[in-house]
Every structure is written in C-alpha cells, then in structure tokens.
Amino acid sequence: MKEERYDVVVVGAGPAGSVTAKTAAERGLDVLLIERNQEIGVPVKCAEGVSKEIEKFVAPDRRWICAEVKGANIYGPDGTKVVLSAETMDETGYVLERMIFDKFLAIEAARAGAEIRVRAEAYDLIEEDGYAKGVYVRCMGEDTRIFAPVVVGADGVESKVGRWAGINTRLQPSNISVCAEFLMCDIELNGDYSEFFLGSEVAPKGYAWVFPKGGDCANVGLGIGGDVSDEKHRALDYLKAFVRNKFPDGKTVAEMYGVVPLSGPSYESVADGLILVGDAARQVNPLTGGGILYAMQAGKIAGDVIAKAVQEKDCSKKRLLEYENRWRSEFGKRLETGF
C-alpha cells in the first residue's frame, strides 16, 4: 500500500475542515484536506442562513451571498408574529449559496498551501501506542496510508473519525432533528426577512423556515424531532403539507435532506493526535440548528493549536486540550444556552 506523510490530515472539506486546513497551512504546516464527495459543497444539507458575524472570518462576496436580510419574522401556532432584528438571530443576516461558499473556503485553503483531494474517503484510523497517526484513504480505487501527527475529524454528524479514536459521537433520536428542504421559485415572499413557523402541526418538536435567496426564490424547509420521525411521520411529508398551504403555486427546483445534532456540544473534542471540529464536535446551536460560523471559528482555533503542537512535537491530548478549552471559552456557552 502506498504511503504519504503530512503534518496534518483533515477529513472533510466543509467550512470547519477548510478553515482548519487554511489556518494550519498559513502557519507553515504541510496540510492534506480530503473530501469523500467528488465536488466540494455538494450535496447541500443546510438552510444557508448566517449572521453578519461571518464578516469576522471572511469579507462578504456577492458570488456566494444570495440575499441580505434585515431580521426574522417568527410565527406561533396561533399566527402570532414576533419580529426580531438580524443582530438577535444567529442565522439571520445573509443567506449563502453553499455550493459556491464551500468551494470558496477550500480555494482559500489551497491558496494558503493546503493540498486538496476529492473522491478520497477515509475508512480507518492509523494508530500507534494509543495515538492517532493518520488515516487509511481510498481514492478512486487506490488505498493509501496517510501518516500525520494530527488527524482532524471534520466529517460531520456522528463523526466516524471521532468514533475510531474512542470518542462517543453517536446520537440518540431525541438528540437530532431530521430535516427536509426545497429550493423553490415562483413564490411570493418578503425578501427582507427570513421566516420561522412554530407548532406541532407544522413540524413536531421542530419548526419550518423560509430563507430568501433573491427574487422569487427561497429555501423552504423544516426539521422534526428524530424521536417522532418514522414512516408515518416523515419530515418530507410535513414539508409537502407546509408548501401546499404556504406556497401552493410555487415550483420546486431542488430537494435537500439531512440531520442536525441538537444535543449540545460534544463532551470530548480531542484525543491523542486527534481533533474534532464543526458538526463532528456538535458545535451547533441546538435552538436554531445553525453551525456554520461556529464551525469556522472552531477551525481557526484548531489550525492555530495544531500548528503549535506539531512545531513543539507534542500532539498529546493534554497539549491539544488548548483547542477544546479555547472553543468552549469563546462560544461554548452560546451552544449550551441554546440547549
């Protein structure tokens, strides 16, 4: 089997993985970022809303911003409406085009010096004396041992990378939201505001959303509690009913499905030679389901800590705990408050 060596290998090229790779590369490390899909940013599994705090990490670019919204209209089961400003909502400010945005972040990582490989799937962890030392990767039918003193799991909900290292990443049905979303056009909406609809008839143990994407287009979706989701109660069926009522003449041009962790942050996000970022570490606001900015913030912290650890030749869990302590200090309380 072929072997390759890097300072860090990042598994997953979503926002968390790409920002980690970029930050580590900027600090002089030899970085490999792998993505199992053939195209970064596809498939989209996100409502695509973020607050204007994204400006702390990247300059807004009209290529990947579909719409700018002033706030959110929140509707109760009885139709009562509450209006919140963009400053008070985590996922209100911009609506992104994730297919373009995720590629933009990966390109930024590549320009910083990271190597990127698509259609490359990690299928096991390389371990030595209890330390993660790399991953086994299958890329277009060829298996390779990728050695690195630090492995980053940016591989999403129920991270396999974390599980391989002994971190409990499994989620109970009660700790997830099962989501369905349509990209719709030819609908009437107020493009200045995102909308949220509450009520068990709309989405049991969840809510529905409408995120404007410019003109007559919007992401229309909902999430329901994983413990109420079954063959007779599917998120897709609730979404179809919501759309029939709200946008009877609208046209669906794309469908998206996914799962969002609602458990609050993971108890552990580091092990010897390993770090988890983004959804893999459950760095998601359980109240809103939003995690893009937390993923980027975590990636920046992770890249910085990894660079110092590799340069010091100490990639132990004790050394990498700086990452966990920093992210919990910087935004952990916001996640726990949502929970």
Answer whether residue 110 shows pLDDT above 50: yes
pLDDT digits (tens, 9 = 90+) for 20-66: 999 999 999 999 999 999 999 988 877 788 888 899 999 989 999 99
CA-closest candidate to residue 330, choices 297, 307, 299:
297
Where exactly are the structural domains of the chain?
2-44+100-171+264-338, 65-95+173-261
> Does 300 have pLDDT greater than 50?
yes
Res 141 pLDDT > 70? yes
Top CATH class, 65-95+173-261: alpha beta
pLDDT tens, position by position, 303-324 = 999 999 999 999 999 999 999 9
Q: Say what the pLDDT of residue 299 is.
A: 98
Instruction: Map tokens 């700018």 to a residue.
Output: 68
Q: What is the mean pLDDT of residues 109-131?
A: 98
pLDDT confidence of residue 338: 52
Same fold: 2-44+100-171+264-338 with 65-95+173-261:
no
pLDDT number for residue 87: 67
Give the residue-averaged pLDDT of 237-252.
97
Q: Report the pLDDT averaged over residues 260-269.
A: 88
339 — pLDDT class (breaks 50, 70, 90): very low
Tokens of 131: 């330390």
β-pairing verdict for 115-118 and 31-35: parallel
The closest of 131, 144, 52, 124 to 94, measured between CA atoms, is 52
Residues composing the chain:
339
Q: What is the DSSP string of 48-102?
A: -EEEGGGGGTS---TTTEEEE--EEEEE-TT--EEEEEGGG-TT-EEEE-HHHHH
Q: Are strands 251-261 and 207-212 parallel, antiparallel or unpaired?
A: unpaired
> What is the pLDDT, as a whole number, of residue 266?
86
Tell me the average pLDDT of the chain. 93
**Cα separation, 6 vs 126, whole angstroms:** 13
Whether 89 has a pLDDT exceeding 70, the answer reads no
Average pLDDT of the residues in 102-131: 98
What percent of the chain is modeled with pLDDT above 70?
97
Confidence (pLDDT) at 158: 84
Across the range 97-111, mean pLDDT stands at 96
pTM of the predicted protein model: 0.93
Average pLDDT on 274-288 reads 91
CA–CA dist 213, 93 (Å, integer): 12
Residue 331 clears pLDDT 60, i.e. is over it: yes
* Model confidence band, residue 91 (pLDDT cutoffs 50, 70, 90): low
State yes or no: pLDDT of 109 exceeds 90. yes
pLDDT tens digits along 155-200: 998 899 999 999 999 889 988 999 999 999 999 999 999 999 999 9
Question: What pLDDT is stored for residue 116 in this prediction?
Answer: 98
CATH no. of 2-44+100-171+264-338:
3.50.50.60
* pLDDT tens track for 54-88: 999 999 899 999 999 999 999 999 999 999 886 66
